[in-house]
Amino acid sequence: MKERKKKKRIRFKGLVIVLLLAYIFLSFLYFLWKNPIKKIEITGNYYLKDNYLIDYLDISKESIIKVSSRSIIKKLKKLELISDAKVHKNYLGTLKIEVVEDKILFYNWNNKKMILSSGKEIEYNSDYLGVPNLINYVPDEVYEEFIKKLNIVEREVLTIVSEIEYSPSIINDKIVDNKRFLFRMNDGNIVYINTTNIEKFNSYLDIYESIVNKNGPIKGCLYLDSNSENKHFNKCSEIEKEEVENTEETETEN
């Protein structure tokens, strides 16, 4: 008889433990279900500001567990600048969103469109700052390659470009380089570069810094359109001086 009583007591204690664990588990689920999003962290965005994206998603009052990561990504990808996104949940209330934002390469004055790194064209938006202006016509075959190659240029460099002009190299009335462009910089300098050597443009800040360190502040023309490793920086010709002065006047007016 005594042995049977002991077995009953053991079973009763086991049942209590099971019920207690079940209660804790269900309480935790209830906490997650009711726990609101306390913090939203967004990374990878440049043109689209955090507040804009948070307002656009409209999930601040939602429960962290109820919000679908898939629905957030789907909604974000509807925005013209976002090509992809990832969502990470911290069940204590933090939602982390990583977005992949297309780079705006330039604003094309010819068709009044902004050109993205994906090749997509979007309407002009004055909220997007640091976008260069392509001011003249570019032949179709060169234009397509230019968009593709300009993707190589870092955003940090593009944001200090004021204007882009298609400027093929001509010698004795013959075009010797039909893929050359002229970049007018916000600092007053002019850079000549072609699509073949476009990756050199990423070194612009370092090149100009080294020139300033040697000669002090100076404005001129940087030639990066050669296949040579040499980087030529010269005082501008009379025509080029005019272009620099026009750039300075435009900056003063702005």
Residue listed under structure tokens 């050199």:
200
Radius of gyration of the chain (CA): 30
Q: What is the pLDDT of residue 91?
A: 75
Query: What pLDDT, in 10s, does the model give residues 90-121?
Result: 877 899 999 999 999 999 999 999 999 988 99
Query: What pLDDT, in 10s, does the model give residues 160-190?
Result: 999 999 999 999 989 999 999 999 999 889 9
Please tell me whether residues 112 and 205 are part of one structural domain: yes
Provide the 8-state DSSP code for 62. S
Q: What is the pLDDT of residue 235?
A: 59
Q: Is residue 30 part of a domain?
A: no
Please tell me whether residues 121 and 224 are part of one structural domain: yes
Helix (H/G/I), strand (E/B), else coil: 77 = coil
**More confidently predicted of 7 and 199:** 199
Q: Is residue 66 part of a domain?
A: yes
Please tell me whether residues 60 and 111 are part of one structural domain: no
Please tell me whether residues 109 and 235 are part of one structural domain: yes
CA distance 11 to 219: 89
Identify the domain boundary among 49, 81, 101. Answer: 101
Give me the number of domains the chain comprises.
2
Q: What is the pLDDT of residue 238?
A: 42
- Residues across the chain: 254
Phi, psi of 32 (to 5 degrees): -65, -40
Please tell me whether residues 180 and 223 are part of one structural domain: yes
CA distance 153 to 194: 12
Long-range contacts formed by 140-145: CB under 8 A, 24+ apart? 142/166, 142/178, 142/179, 142/195, 145/179, 145/195
Please tell me whether residues 123 and 196 are part of one structural domain: yes
Please tell me whether residues 128 and 229 are part of one structural domain: yes
Q: Is residue 143 part of a domain?
A: yes
Domain CATH for 67:
3.10.20.310
Please tell me whether residues 97 and 147 are part of one structural domain: no
Domain containing 75 equals: 35-101
Domain CATH for 184:
3.40.50.10960
The percent of residues in the chain predicted with pLDDT above 70, rounded, is 76
Q: What is the pLDDT of residue 9?
A: 56
Please tell me whether residues 97 and 109 are part of one structural domain: no
Q: Is residue 18 part of a domain?
A: no
Please tell me whether residues 120 and 88 are part of one structural domain: no
DSSP string, 140-179: HHHHHHHHHHHTTS-HHHHTTEEEEEE--EEETTEEEETT
Identify the domain boundary among 101, 118, 145. Answer: 101
181 to 39, 77, 121, 203, 205: CA distances (angstroms): 46, 33, 21, 17, 18
Identify the domain boundary among 48, 72, 101. Answer: 101
Pairing status of strand 39-43 against strand 82-90: unpaired
Q: Is residue 217 part of a domain?
A: yes
